[in-house]
Amino acid sequence: MILVTRLDRQVMLLNPDLIVTIEETPDTVVTLTNGHHLLVRERGQVLLNRIVAYHTIVLRRAGSRHAGRKYLERRRLGQFRNRLAPPAHERPSHHQDN
């Protein structure tokens, strides 16, 4: 979410994925996917910088194993597999009887 300020100085959070266009005429008009228009105080370049920063954070957290985010990594993958697998005495044997 990015922070935007309406013309009446009301601060709100906006999902940048819902933005279709940003126009400066001379007020900044943000058009959303549902057809609504928001008049905001920020200039278009400021909004663009906030959108890029937002997507950078999202992509860094989602894709990088080196970002230092332990909650996104599964270092002990075997631990998760063991919880899903049945105990050894309940596993079917795969002996071939000829």
Range(s) of the domain holding residue 8: 2-66
Report residue 23's pLDDT band, with 50, 70 and 90 as the boundaries: very high
Q: Containing H/E element for 87? A: none
Residue 8 DSSP SS3: coil
* 39 closest CA partner among 49, 52, 26: 26
Tokens read off for 81:
């597999």
pLDDT of residue 92: 59
Question: Does residue 94 lie within any of the structural domains?
Answer: no
pLDDT at 28 over 60: yes
Q: What percent of the chain has pLDDT over 90?
A: 56
Question: Does residue 21 lie within any of the structural domains?
Answer: yes
Question: Does residue 90 lie within any of the structural domains?
Answer: no
Report residue 80's pLDDT band, with 50, 70 and 90 as the boundaries: low
Question: Does residue 51 lie within any of the structural domains?
Answer: yes
Number of domains in the chain: 1
